[in-house]
Amino acid sequence: MRTCVGCRSSFPKKELVRIVRDPEGKVELDLTGKRSGRGAYLCHSTTCFDLAVKGKQIERALGVTVGAEVLEEIRKVLDETSI
């Protein structure tokens, strides 16, 4: 079970999307859920993504400042993969 950083609800790992900070410090969306690095989990919902960005929950979970370009890129992919 993992917790969405947006809505704070718990779900099985496979039902969430992982955002990862790799060992070099680069933040990316991890659709496989298997990349190495520090991870934060989100529902497949852009609403949860918006809540997480507004509250800086992604940055807090990953321990780095996430640039606006990276957030827009993640939002774009979430828009395309939303259930």
Identify the sign of the CA torsion 70, 16, 20, 64: positive
Torsion of CA 25, 27, 31, 36, to 10 degrees: 10
Give the model's pLDDT for residue 78: 84
Distances (CA, A) of 44 to 16, 17, 25, 40, 65: 6, 6, 24, 13, 22
Give the model's pLDDT for residue 80: 83
What number does CATH give the domain 2-81?
Answer: 3.30.1230.10
Closest CA to 52 of 44, 42, 62: 42
pTM score, whole prediction: 0.88
Give the model's pLDDT for residue 83: 59
Give the model's pLDDT for residue 82: 66
pLDDT in tens, the chain (83 residues): 999 999 999 999 999 999 999 999 999 999 888 999 999 999 988 899 999 999 999 999 999 999 999 999 989 988 887 65
Q: Show me where the domains of the chain are located.
A: 2-81
